[in-house]
Amino acid sequence: MQRLLVFVFFSLMAATAVRAQLSISGGSTAVQESIGRAVTLTCTYSLSAGYTLREIKWYRVNGERDPVLFYYPGQSAYTYGLYRNRASLVNTDDSAQVASLRLSNLQFSDNGTYECLVGALNGQPAEESVQIDLVALVAPNDPVITDEYNNGNLTMTCTAYTGNPAANLTWTRDGSRVYHDVAENITSWRGYLDAQSIISVTASTAQSSTFQCVAQHPAFTAAQRASVTVGSPTVSTVNINPSPVPGEALQELDDIILTCMTQEGIVPQPTYQWTLDGGNVPASAQAYRNELKIFSAQVEDSGIYSCTARNDFGSDSGDATILIAERDTNIVEPQTGSPVGSVVGGVVAALAFLVLVAIVAFAWWRSKERGDYHTAEQSPEEPTAVVSTEPEDEKDEEKLNLMEEKKEEEPEVKVETQGEGHAEVAKKPDPDQTA
Ligand SMILES: *[C@@H]1O[C@H](CO)[C@@H](O)[C@H](O)[C@H]1NC(C)=O
Ligand SMILES: *[C@@H]1O[C@H](CO)[C@@H](O)[C@H](O)[C@H]1NC(C)=O
Ligand SMILES: *[C@@H]1O[C@H](CO)[C@@H](O)[C@H](O)[C@H]1NC(C)=O
Ligand SMILES: *[C@@H]1O[C@H](CO)[C@@H](O)[C@H](O)[C@H]1NC(C)=O
Structural domains in the chain, CATH included, are: 18-137 (2.60.40.10), 144-230 (2.60.40.10), 235-325 (2.60.40.10)
Give residue 420's pLDDT. 36
In the reported structure, the alpha carbon of residue 58 is separated from the centroid of ligand 3 by a whole-number distance in angstroms of: 34
pLDDT of residue 11: 41
Q: How far away, in angstroms, is 149 Cα from ligand 2 center?
A: 10
The arrangement of strands across the sheet holding 193-202 comes to 144-150, 153-163, 193-202, 182-187
Which ligand 4 atom minimizes the distance to the CA of 183? 13
Q: How large is the greatest C-alpha to C-alpha distance in the chain, in angstroms? A: 105
The Cα–Cα gap between 244 and 257 comes to: 12
Give the pLDDT score at 134.
97
**Euclidean distance between CA atoms 166 and 53, whole angstroms:** 41
- From ligand 3's centre to the CA of 146, what distance in Å? 22
Determine the distance separating the centroid of ligand 4 and the alpha carbon of 434, expressed in angstroms.
23
| Model-wide pTM > 0.75 | no
E strands in 231-281? 235-241, 250-251, 256-262, 266-267, 271-276
Q: Which helix (H) or strand (E) holds 22?
A: strand 22-26
Judged by its nearest atom, the ligand closest to the C-alpha of residue 192 is: 1
What local confidence, expressed as pLDDT, does residue 24 receive? Answer: 86
Per-residue confidence (pLDDT) for residue 247, from 0 to 100: 80
- Please state, in angstroms and rounded to a whole number, the distance separating the CA atoms of residues 245 and 150: 44
pLDDT at 48: 86
Question: Measuring CA to CA, how many Å separate 146 from each of 160, 198, 370, 405?
Answer: 12, 10, 81, 36
Distances (CA, A) of 93 to 75, 98, 123: 12, 8, 22
Measured on CA atoms in the order 348, 350, 355, 356, is the torsion positive or negative? positive
CA 83 to chain centre: 22
Contact assessment for residue 81 and residue 12, using Cβ atoms and an 8 Å cutoff: no
Q: Which helix (H) or strand (E) holds 181?
A: none
Distance 148 CA to ligand 4 centre (A): 24
Whose CA is closest to atom 13 on ligand 1?
191
Residue from 133, 138, 192, 194 to probe ligand 1 pocket by mutation (most atoms less than 8 Å from CB): 133
Q: Tell me what pLDDT residue 364 has.
A: 56
pLDDT tens, per residue, the chain with 435 residues: 444 444 434 443 443 333 446 888 887 889 999 999 999 999 999 988 888 999 999 999 999 999 999 999 999 999 999 999 999 999 878 788 999 999 999 999 999 999 999 999 988 889 999 999 999 999 999 999 999 999 999 999 999 999 999 999 999 999 999 999 999 999 987 899 999 999 999 999 999 999 999 999 999 999 999 999 999 999 999 999 998 888 888 989 999 999 999 999 999 999 999 999 999 999 989 999 999 999 999 999 999 999 999 999 999 999 999 999 988 776 555 555 455 545 555 555 556 656 565 655 556 556 655 544 443 333 334 433 333 333 344 434 444 444 444 333 333 333 333 333 333 333 344 444 333
List ligand 3's pocket residues with C-beta within 6 A.
168, 170, 216
Query: Rounded distance, CA 241 to CA 246, Å?
Result: 13
Gap from CA of 410 to ligand 4 centroid (Å): 26
* Closest Cα to atom 7 of ligand 2: 200
- Give the DSSP letter string of 26-57: E-SS-EEEETTS-EEE-EEEEE-TT-EEEEEE
